[in-house]
């Protein structure tokens, strides 16, 4: 315990970076995931194929491989970015495939009559999706989106491999100095567990509230 207290400033700074990385990555994944969902449920076959290809590609590629490729490959084509920015973009693009599928499952849970009624009053496909279908679909996928947020938090630990000093990297640096891996990484693991528990509790409460309001 004393080793954690002695290096609390470094670990706290790493935790802040983890929060920043998680929040920015999930926000980007939510926006891109909504677009992927729209492609997946589009009445245009080509757009559905593009959405399917995106989901199948990123769900079958390891995130660490994407991070390493982006970190070392982008500078080769003249794209320079800070490691944190690179990690945010890559994680957002990766998690968007999962967000898109979660949203699509929610869209599929909305009765077809809702979309037909929207089109009957003159709304286009994009308008009916944005104003009628998605607001109802979101109520059914609060918990799945919460699980994706938790997975995003855990996946941010991989950013340490490309130079981002998050909680995992900070814990590793402290361990290199103190050579006490058990208390250091148990402490870091507990921090991740507390984040997951807080998100799970919050989304669970939110899901029950929205179900009652439906």
Q: Is the pLDDT of residue 140 over 60?
A: yes
State the SS3 of 94-135: HHHHHHHHHHHHHHHHCCHHHHHHHHHCCCCHHHHHHHHHHH
Which residues touch 59 (CB under 8 Å, ≥6 apart)? Answer: 97, 98, 101
pLDDT tens profile 156-180? 999 998 888 899 999 989 888 888 8
Q: Is the pLDDT of residue 19 over 90?
A: yes
Phi-psi sector, 188: left (phi>0), alpha (psi -120 to 50), beta = alpha
When mean pLDDT is compared across 85-89, 186-190, 205-209, the lowest value belongs to 205-209
Q: What is the mean pLDDT of residues 171-192?
A: 88
Q: Given pLDDT bands bounded at 50, 70 and 90, which one contains residue 214?
A: very low
Output 118 or 204, whichever has higher pLDDT. Answer: 204
Which residues touch 52 (CB under 8 Å, ≥6 apart)? Answer: 40
Q: What is the pLDDT of residue 212?
A: 44
- Rounded-to-integer distance, Cα 129 and Cα 125, Å: 6
Q: Which two tokens stand for residue 53?
A: 């290809």
pLDDT tens profile 80-137? 888 899 999 999 999 999 999 998 888 777 766 666 666 677 667 667 766 677 777 7
Q: What is the pLDDT of residue 131?
A: 67
Please check whether residue 17 is in contact with residue 173, taking contact to mean a CB–CB distance below 8 angstroms. Answer: no
pLDDT tens profile 27-67? 999 999 999 988 998 888 999 999 999 999 999 999 999 99
Taking Cα atoms as reference points, which of 142, 11, 30, 37 lies closest to residue 91? 30
Q: How far is CA 180 from CA 14, 136, 194, in A?
A: 18, 50, 22
Q: What is the pLDDT of residue 176?
A: 85
Taking Cα atoms as reference points, which of 113, 114, 107 lies closest to residue 137? 107
Question: How many other C-beta atoms are found inside a 10 Å radius of the C-beta of residue 112?
Answer: 8
Q: What is the pLDDT of residue 213?
A: 45
- 77 DSSP 8-state letter: G
């Amino acid at each position: 315990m004393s080793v954690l207290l002695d290096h609390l400033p470094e670990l706290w700074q790493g935790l802040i970076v983890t929060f920043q990385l998680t929040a920015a990555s999930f926000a980007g994944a939510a926006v891109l995931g909504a677009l992927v969902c729209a492609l997946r449920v589009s009445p245009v076959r080509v757009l559905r194929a593009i959405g399917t290809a995106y989901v199948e590609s990123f769900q079958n590629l390891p995130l660490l491989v994407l991070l390493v490729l982006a970190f070392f490959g982008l500078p080769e084509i003249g794209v320079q970015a800070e490691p944190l920015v690179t990690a945010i973009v890559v994680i957002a693009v990766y998690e968007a495939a999962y967000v898109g599928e979660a949203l699509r499952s929610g869209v599929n849970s909305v009765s077809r009559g809702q979309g037909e009624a929207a089109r009957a009053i003159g709304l286009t496909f994009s308008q009916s999706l944005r104003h009628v279908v998605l607001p109802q679909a979101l109520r059914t996928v609060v918990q799945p989106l919460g699980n994706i947020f938790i997975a995003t938090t855990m996946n941010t630990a991989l950013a340490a491999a490309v130079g981002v000093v998050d909680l995992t990297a900070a814990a590793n640096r402290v361990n290199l100095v103190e050579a006490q891996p058990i208390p250091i990484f148990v402490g870091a693991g507990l921090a991740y567990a507390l984040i997951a528990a807080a998100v799970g509790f919050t989304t669970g409460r939110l899901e029950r509230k929205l179900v009652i309001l439906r």
